[in-house]
Structure 1
Amino acid sequence: MAFALEHTVFTSILGSPFLPRFVRRTLLLTAGADARSSVGTGFALAGSARNLSIGSGVFLNKDVSVEAIAPVTIGANTSIGMQVLIITSHHEIADDGQWDPAPIGKPVTIGERVWIGARATILPGARIDDDVIIAAGAVVTGHLTSHGIYGGVPARRIRDLPAAV
């Protein structure tokens, strides 16, 4: 029953194209998120809204999905393309090859002025510094350092960007 309620509120209602952005933001705030910006249509949130922090000036395009089992922080003035997936749950694998069905949360941190291209996937534990561009379809693991363009599976630094003066 709790899952059905969560799905209804955070997927069907929150992502509804019939709701204005300010109403979507209000729903997130009411649920305990630190939302200084709103979300786009088709937005889906799994996990706890209290684990979600969205900075000011953030643009989330349509059909973005966030799994907030652990904290997800999105810095100010970041743009997230359509159908981006942000995941925080991970399953440990034992020495005998068996995976643990109980998820372990690993936080995801996205810095300020980051641009994430369409259909990129941000995996548990990823840390993206400020001023980074991530190519469409990239799979992000680990730490992406500032002033770079990243792409591929897994995402690798493709080229440097000039530091702002």
Structure 2
Amino acid sequence: MTPDLTLPYDGILPDFASRPVWCGRGSTVIGAARLGSQAWIGDDGVIRADGQPVVLGERFWLGHRSTVHIATFTRGTQVGDRVTVGHNSVVHACTIGSDVVIEDDVVILDGATVGDGTVIEAGATVFPRVQLEGGFVYAGSPAKPQRTITRAELDERAERLREAAGDALQPVAGDRPEVVETVFVASTARLRGRVSLGAGSSVLFSCDLHAEVGPIVVGADTNIQDNTVIRTRGEGVVIGRDTTVGHNVRVGDSRIGARSLIGIGATIAPGTVIADDVMLAAGATTDPGQLLEGGYLWGGRPARILSPLDADKRAMMGRIVEGYREHGRAYRKAEAESA
């Protein structure tokens, strides 16, 4: 089976060494991605090589609602053979060795290197540019070595993750909102209930926006990246303009201000209020009802102030917003041409 959606980027289509053994519902592969033989992509898995290459070795296995991406202008992603990635994890602009197990809810960030024969335990965050020596189990945020691991245990953990994927995600038919021409909603995204999208906004691949009770309101030029889930069970979610919500973020009823960045794999608890001009670090969480003051980088579990938001960080956040405006235009065209 081929992925539900295969798209070119800058005229380059993905390259499959052989057709994957299995590709799940809502799976997406884009751009300069090369998948080795016997690859497996779970439901809503996203592999996006839009600006730099993604090279995945033989028997690569990507769990349900997990994401592989690159740093658009600077760094691709390289993964060795026999690598297993669990559910709701992100492998981002990094280098992964062979015989590696990445469990559920893991985030691996830009420039990190993971050695051969390694296990990254569920919920861990591998910080940018960190080098993890092979042969160990790592856990925590930031990920730290816990103990050595045998090949027999590594194989057992990989098999356990693969067996768990037998309980596949079920697709849910959703309401596609009326959107203006400048908005991009990926064909594999699911939007249900009262969802309002501002001009120039984008909802990327395999996102799930479900306004069960209150509405979801997304501001102009804001981007919601792959596999993010936003769900309302109370007053709703409002996100300001020019904001980035990274890959695999979880958002409950909350308010997120303008010109902010919610990092990869973060969790926003119900009742959270995030002011304008906030950067929330990858893998961070908020407590219910927490207020994040504007003008700062926040991080941790629960989030706390780490440093003032300096000019370089503000400029970087602006570049991401502009980059995703360009991505939205490119993907609208690519999906229209592939229809």
The alignment covers a number of residue pairs equal to 131
Out of 274, 277, 300, the position equivalent to 1:152 is 300
Query: Which consecutive aligned stretches of 4+ in structure 1 deviate over 4 angstroms post-superposition?
Result: none
Q: Offset of 1:23 from its aligned partner?
A: 7.0
Distance (whole Å) between structure 2 residues aligned to residue 83 and residue 22 of structure 1? 16
Q: Which has the higher strand share?
A: 2
1:21 equivalent to 2:167? Answer no
CA distance in 1, matches of 2:285, 2:299: 8
Change (3 A) 1:113 1:138: same
| 1:6-155 alignment, distance < 5 Å | 7-9=172-174, 21-22=184-185, 31-36=193-198, 37-48=201-212, 51-70=215-234, 71-88=236-253, 108-141=254-287, 142-155=290-303
Which entry has the higher C-alpha Rg, 1 or 2? 2
In the alignment, the residues of structure 2 paired with residue 22 and residue 67 of structure 1 have an alpha-carbon distance, to the nearest angstrom, of 17
**Runs of at least 5 residues in structure 1 that lack an aligned partner in the other structure:** 1-5, 15-19, 89-107
Q: Which structure 2 residue ranges, 5 or more long, are not aligned?
A: 1-170, 178-182, 315-339
Higher relative contact order (CA 8 A, sep 6+): 1
User: Taking structure 2 as the reference length, what is the TM-score of the superposition?
Assistant: 0.35
Q: CA deviation at 1:65?
A: 0.2
Offset at residue 87 of structure 1 (A): 1.8
Query: What is the identity percentage for the equivalent residue pairs of Structure 1 and Structure 2?
Result: 29
CA separation in 2, counterparts of 1:47 and 1:32?
6
Q: Is the 8 A contact 2:185 2:204 kept in 1?
A: no
Q: Which residue of 1 aligns with 2:129?
A: none
Cα separation, 2, equivalents of 1:23 and 1:63: 11
RMSD across aligned C-alpha pairs, in angstroms?
3.0
* Distance of 1:87 and 1:64 partners within structure 2: 11
Please give the TM-score of this superposition, normalised by the length of structure 1.
0.69
Quote the Cα distance in structure 2 between the aligned partners of 1:112 and 1:79: 9
Residue 34 of structure 1 and its aligned partner are, at CA, apart by: 2.0
Tell me: CA distance 1:40–1:23, structure 2 relative to 1, closer, same or farther (3 Å): closer
